[in-house]
Structure formats: C-alpha cells, structure tokens
Structure 1
Amino acid sequence: MKMENILIEKQENIAIITINRPEKLNALNKVTIQELHEGFKSLSTDSSVKAIIITGSGEKAFVAGADISEFAHFSEEEGEKLAAKGQELLFDFVENLSTPVIAAVNGFALGGGLELAMACHFRVASDNVKMGLPEVTLGVIPGYGGTQRLGQLVGKGRAMEMIMTAGMIDAEMAKNYGLVNHVVPQGELLDLAKGIASKIARNSSTAISKAIQAINANFKDGVNGYAVEIENFGACFGTEDFKEGTTAFLEKRKASFK
C-alpha cells in the first residue's frame, strides 16, 4: 500500500512512524487511519523491529484532532460506525500491539490526537505540548476511546473536568497528571524516545509482549488481570528467550535475545 499521509523509517531495530499532514496539523482522516493501521500491522510482523515510535511532522502538532469535514453531516448510525471502525483499525489495535509503541508528542495533541497518544503504551512530550479533548464544543463526545483511557490514566475526576470543560493542559500539567512520562525541549524529543526504545530493544521481545497483555488485562471488564499474569508468566518458561536470559544471568554475561 502506497502511503500518502505517513512516513515510516527504520533505524536499526527501532521504527519511527511520522504522521505527515503538516498543512492540516496532522489531523486524522479515514485515509490516515487506514495507513496507520497498515503501517503498525506491517511493523508488528517484522521481527527486526523491537519498538515503534509515533510522532507528528512539523513543530506545531502531533495530531490536532480528527478531520471534522469528513463527518460533520453524519447520521447517528454513521457516527457510531465511524467510532467503531476507528477503534478497531487504530486505537484498540495499537493498544493491543505486541510491539511496544511510544508516542513522541510534539505540539498539539487534541481530540483524536490525544486519543491516539493514549492508545500507545506510554507517552513522552515536548515542552510546547497542549493536550485536550475538545469534542463537547462540537456537540459530540470523544469517540476513539478518550472517555475510557483518559480516566484510566489521570483519574475519573480529572478526566471529567478535562472533557466537560474542553480545556487544554500544558506539558508540565500532563506530566503531573501522569498522562506523559517525560517532558523535554522539542529538539530533544525524538532522541529521548529513541533512547527509551533502545533500552526496550535490549530486552526480551517475547517477555515484553506478554507483559503488555498482562498490564492491559487489568483495564478490561470481566478479565482477571492477575490470572492473565500467572498464565503469561508460565508461558515465558517455554520460550527460547527465557532459556537465554536465565543462562546469561547464571553465566554472568549479557543476554542476546533473538
């Protein structure tokens, strides 16, 4: 599939996806969502890729929201289908990806942009970041998982306030809320993300994928996260990575994971 709105670059065992619609502040439209799905899907099956970073092109925005012109005249049924399809193709897909995904959030992350960042496994931000879910100003609510993930990350009360006021928070407040892990000047953002990704890449990809499943299980209705952890812990014992990791430890050398 030829990509019109995203760029994919590989640097050793790290992949960088850049949403490349700077003239639209990298707003998400149907084409971009589909391309992101295809990009993530391809990278997740590439055994050489140990971590994925997603960011936005330019200095103004990670993703400034969804492309409102595409759905301004939708019916109730069309709106529901839009949310369901978007969550399936991109937001839930990223959250459950076995390869770690780091959002390097630069500039505005609003609406669908913040929802995409929250779907990633964790977030780092530049100091010019502005984050928010302004959907209620349009007479609608967040539809790509925002009402669920924001509360999980910052707590119910803060999520209620952010969504109902449609207000934006800056990078330091996002860090204080636990919405982002680190804040650095914009020029240092990608280097920070790459540094974290490199640390991840040195570890067992098999174990990391099991850890992602176990952590996510705690936030799923009707799923016992402890039970998933026990099952995945046991499953690790049957892997080559476990044999290599434990052998390397006993032999007092660094593990070399395949």
Structure 2
Amino acid sequence: MGAGVNTVRLDVGEDTGVAVVTLDRPGRLNAVDLTMVRELAEVWRELRFDDAVRAVVLTGSGERAFCTGIDRDAVVPQPSSPYMQDDPLLGVGPKANDLWKPVIAAVRGMACGGAFYLLGESEFVVADPTAVFFDPHTTYGMVSAYESVLMAQRMPYGEAARTALMGTAERMSARRAHEVGLVSEIAEEGRAVEAAVRCAGIVAGYPPEAVQGTVRALWAAKEAARAQAFAQAPHLIALGSLPAGRQAELFAGRSREYRVR
C-alpha cells in the first residue's frame, strides 16, 4: 500500500494462501473514515490480482471492537436530492470491489452499524466470546436501511428486526449470534483470528476456481433481492432520518446503559 499512515493492514502468510486484512484504527474502535474507505477498496482490488492469496480473513485491531461503523467525524457531503444520496460504506466490502475469493470475518468486541457492510459481504463469521452486535441507527434518529437489508440476509427476520429497532439499548451476544446463524463458530477467547485462519487455510488448499465459483454462486442466490432492496434505501434514508444536527444531539445525550442478550 502507499506511503503515509495506513488504516488497513494486509498480511500475507508465506505458503499458506491466506491473507489477513486488519482494520487498524484501534484508538477509534476501528471506525471507518474516508481514508479507510479508500484503503479497503485498494486492498480488495490488490487481492484480486494476487494469485498466491486464495482465502482472506478480515478482522479488527485491538480488543474492544471489530468495527463501529462510519466515523462520526467523517465529513460526507450529501446532495439535496433523495435520488443521489452518497454512502461511502457501499464501497468498503470485498464483493463491492469484485473480489470473489472467500472472506472469513473474525470478530472480537463490538461490531455495530456500518460494520454490517463488511460482515454482510463475508462468507461466514467466527466470533470471540466477547463479540457483541448491535445497530445504533434508530437511537440517533437515523434509518437503518443498508445494514438491515444485509442482516436480514444473514439471520431470521425477527432477529434482524430486533437488532435494528432496539438500537443502543440492546446488544446481541456471540452466543445468541451463533444460535441465530449470524456467527458460525465461537472460538476460545482471544483466538478468533486463529480459528478463522485455520478455516481459511483449509479452503485455500482447494482448487481456487472451484472455490471462487462457489462463492459467486452463493452470492448470486441473494444478489437480486439485495439489489432491489438497496434501490429503496436512499429514499427511505432521506425521508426518515433526522437532520444531522438533531442526530448529533441525540448522540451526545445517549444513554450508556444497555443489556446483552
């Protein structure tokens, strides 16, 4: 990657066929700023051309969070028209960048809000026992559109709805996420990346054309419904979200209390 302070680390294992992509802003709970948006796209596109990499693990730096979504300090100018809303997170995932190598997410700590763009474009999720999942949008007067669509494709409707509607008042535990299918494995504490790399290493040992074709087929099974739902998202966000100033007030006055289920 280029010079300067990188927000994403890329580590390619020697002779394993596995790359580990790490969101590396632990001081900001791996929140996505516009630099990270650009660097993630660069990493996914770089991996498209690296035939030595046949499987990928995606994780976050530090113990507190996998990713907490868009950085609230990121300035994203918006057109006034609901037909031309800009969402930088639409470009952060591997599928959005035409990468069809399998991606396994390893989650420790919080995964919330915009983190679902990344989880929604991963093949499966391995979680640390400390992992928790929640969507804060409604608490702050924001429509959860893209995130809800992605989560509705990863777990039962009622669980996706509860996650989106309960906002910051409730967090889904790794145990519950495993029960509803969002998480495929709960690793020993501190070993989620190791468990994900182990899975990725097995997949990387298979003929890559067969693996990538399978990934593409799995994605095709839900791609049409996702595209149709995403087409509604900009209008719903424009109609239902409070002005930015009011959102900031709600964020500043938010309750710190929540339950884990």
- Fold shared per TM-score above 0.5: yes
More contact order relative to length (CA 8 Å, sep ≥ 6): 2
Q: What is the SS of the residue equivalent to 2:158?
A: helix
Tell me which residue corresponds to 1:97. Answer: 99
Q: Which amino acid aligns with 2:166?
A: T
Higher helix share: 1
Do 2:70 and 2:89's aligned partners in 1 also have CA atoms closer than 8 Å? no
Using the alignment, how far apart are the partners of 1:98 and 1:29 within structure 2? 25
Deviates more, 1:66-75 or 1:104-113: 66-75
Tell me which residue corresponds to 2:135. Answer: 133
1:150 aligns with 2:151: yes
Tell me which residue corresponds to 1:27. Answer: 31
For residue 216 of structure 2, the aligned residue among 179, 204, 213 is 213
Using the alignment, how far apart are the partners of 2:96 and 2:106 within structure 1? 14
For residue 64 of structure 1, the aligned residue among 68, 76, 88 is 68
CA distance change for structure 1 residues 78 and 6 in 2, over 3 Å: closer, same or farther? farther
Q: What is the SS of the residue equivalent to 1:55?
A: strand
Do 2:116 and 2:151's aligned partners in 1 also have CA atoms closer than 8 Å? no
Instruction: State the 1:66 CA deviation.
Output: 1.2
CA distance change for structure 1 residues 92 and 188 in 2, over 3 Å: closer, same or farther? closer
Do 2:106 and 2:126's aligned partners in 1 also have CA atoms closer than 8 Å? yes
Using the alignment, how far apart are the partners of 1:35 and 1:95 within structure 2? 12
Percent of paired sites with the same residue: 26
Instruction: State the 1:81 CA deviation.
Output: 3.4
For residue 117 of structure 1, the aligned residue among 116, 119, 127 is 119
Using the alignment, how far apart are the partners of 2:203 and 2:188 within structure 1? 22
For residue 16 of structure 1, the aligned residue among 7, 16, 20 is 20
Q: Which residues of 2 match residues 191-230 of structure 1 at below 5 A?
A: 191-221=194-224
Do 1:175 and 1:181's aligned partners in 2 also have CA atoms closer than 8 Å? yes
Q: Which amino acid aligns with 1:201?
A: A
Instruction: State the 1:152 CA deviation.
Output: 1.2
Q: Which residues of 2 match residues 48-59 of structure 1 at below 5 A?
A: 48-59=52-63
Using the alignment, how far apart are the partners of 2:98 and 2:153 within structure 1? 16
Give the superposed CA RMSD. 2.3
TM-score (norm 2): 0.77
Using the alignment, how far apart are the partners of 1:108 and 1:79 within structure 2? 32
Q: Which amino acid aligns with 2:7?
A: N
Q: Which amino acid aligns with 2:155?
A: V
Q: What is the SS of the residue equivalent to 1:52?
A: strand
Q: Which amino acid aligns with 1:66?
A: I
Using the alignment, how far apart are the partners of 2:35 and 2:46 within structure 1? 16
What do the CA deviations read for 1:180-235 (whole angstroms, capped 9, x no partner)?
A: 10012332212111110111011111011111111111112279xxxxxxxxxxxx
Do 1:130 and 1:170's aligned partners in 2 also have CA atoms closer than 8 Å? yes
Do 2:119 and 2:125's aligned partners in 1 also have CA atoms closer than 8 Å? yes
CA distance change for structure 1 residues 81 and 10 in 2, over 3 Å: closer, same or farther? same
Deviates more, 1:100-109 or 1:154-163: 154-163
CA distance change for structure 1 residues 142 and 31 in 2, over 3 Å: closer, same or farther? farther
Q: What is the SS of the residue equivalent to 1:102?
A: strand
What do the CA deviations read for 1:135-171 (whole angstroms, capped 9, x no partner)?
A: 111211235x312121111122221111111131010
Using the alignment, how far apart are the partners of 2:147 and 2:211 within structure 1? 25
